[in-house]
Amino acid sequence: MKIWINGILVDKDAATVSVLDHGLLYGDGVFEGIRVYAGRIFELDAHLDRLVASARTIRLEVPYGRAAIAQAMADTVKANGLREGYIRLLVTRGAGTLGLDADKCSGGSVIIIADQVALYPQEMYDNGMAVIIARTRRIAPNMLDPSAKSLNYLNNILAKVEAQDAGVAEAIMLNADGDVAEATGDNIFIVRGGEVVTPPPAAGILIGVTRCVVMNLCGQLGIPLAERRVAPEDLYAADECFLTGTAAEVIAVTKVDGRTIGTGRPGPVTQKLLKAFRELTGPRTKQGPPAAHENRKHCSSQPHG
Ligand code: PMP
């Protein structure tokens, strides 16, 4: 495996960072998870927008421009011979001292890893997955803006451990107000009475790129859509529920806290959106050029892209 690190592609074993890197010492950095479909980087601009916004939020300067990062990702994908895969792009604050002082850090250190991806087993895509609502809450926007994709994932990890303790693969996290925010690494949607509902950015979510794509698909397919507060009761009472994420894509949730959602099978709206998503990300002929601006409003109108 070849890894791109600060301008050079090196073998995995040679791709090392300092133990004094504040990314390691303090989770001081930002990242992106990006898909490669049929040799093309999916939603490149949306991911670069979010990376830049995340870096700005944590006052970290990205030492390469967008074009250079895009080229480096393409080079890394090529060097690893990938047509389908997943890119992890990280920017850390670099090596510093043992103290918190950001000024003593070497500055943005960029790492690009490209690999295969398989988040959940196929069986879960076919039959839906069981989740719990975690006790661990999502970090509140007045603490650390959750729309910045920082390297601090401890509360998400603890929620995922809760899921594993409960024998399920994923956990839904509530925000400090007790509303549904998102899953540990995916956004959440519910369907009720034919309407698709997802918590708004103000619920303290990471504004997922896949979330944007799926919201735009709702528009294109004429499926009613709302960004609205979702209470745990709304989730339990939903006809359908699904998660979206770069690695997960679109996956149905059929059980929450042991309660069956809807019929207990992936529902018709979820299946319709999954099919449309697969068409978008499938063979090159179907992917086509980026959709017109009016079809992309959910990706471009958000403060953090
Ligand atoms: N929420 C969180 C907390 C995440 O980490 C992610 C994915 N990394 C998402 C949602 C989904 O975002 P995206 O669709 O951009 O992968």
Res 12: pLDDT = 96
Distance from Cα 97 to the centre of ligand 1, integer Å: 31
pLDDT > 90? residue 288: no
Q: Give me the pLDDT at residue 299, please.
A: 57
For the domain spanning 122-281, the CATH number is: 3.20.10.10
For ligand 1, whether the C-beta of 185 sits within 6 Å is: yes
Is pLDDT at 173 greater than 50 in this prediction?
yes
Query: How high is the pLDDT of residue 298?
Result: 63
Ligand 1 lined by 96 (C-beta under 6 Å): no
CATH topology identical between 2-116 and 122-281: no
How sure is the predictor about 303, in pLDDT bands with cuts at 50, 70 and 90? very low
Give the architecture (CATH level 2) of 2-116: 2-Layer Sandwich (3.30)
Judge whether residue 285 has pLDDT over 50: no
Give the pLDDT score at 184.
98
Is 160 near ligand 1, meaning CB less than 6 Å away? no
Q: Which of 141, 80, 81 is nearest to 113 (CA)?
A: 80
Binned at pLDDT 50, 70 and 90, residue 292 comes out as: very low
For residue 181, the CA-to-ligand 1 centroid distance in Å is 12
Q: From the alpha carbon of 248, which atom of ligand 1 is closest? A: 16
Band (pLDDT 50/70/90 cuts) for residue 283 is confident
Beta carbon of 156 within 6 Å of any ligand 1 atom: yes
187-223 per-position pLDDT tens digit: 999 999 999 999 999 999 999 999 999 999 999 999 9
Domain ranges within the chain, ordered by starting residue:
2-116, 122-281
What is the pTM for the complete model shown? Answer: 0.94
pLDDT for 186:
98
For 39-68, how does the pLDDT look when each residue is reduced to its tens digit (9 = 90+)? 999 999 999 999 999 999 999 999 999 999
Instruction: Give the confidence band of 296 by pLDDT, cuts at 50, 70, 90.
Output: low
Q: Tell me what pLDDT residue 119 has.
A: 77
CA 275 / ligand 1 centre spacing (Å): 20
**pLDDT of 260:** 98
CB 245 near ligand 1, within 6 Å: yes
The set of catalytic residues is 149
Decide: 206 in ligand 1 pocket, CB within 6 A. Answer: yes
| Shortest-distance Cα residue to atom 8 of ligand 1 | 185
Q: From the CA of 83, how far away is ligand 1's center (Å)?
A: 22
- Better pLDDT: 288 or 220: 220
Nearest ligand 1 atom to alpha carbon 206: 1
pLDDT score of 304? 34
Q: What is the mean pLDDT of the chain?
A: 93
The pLDDT score that the predictor gives to residue 207 is 98
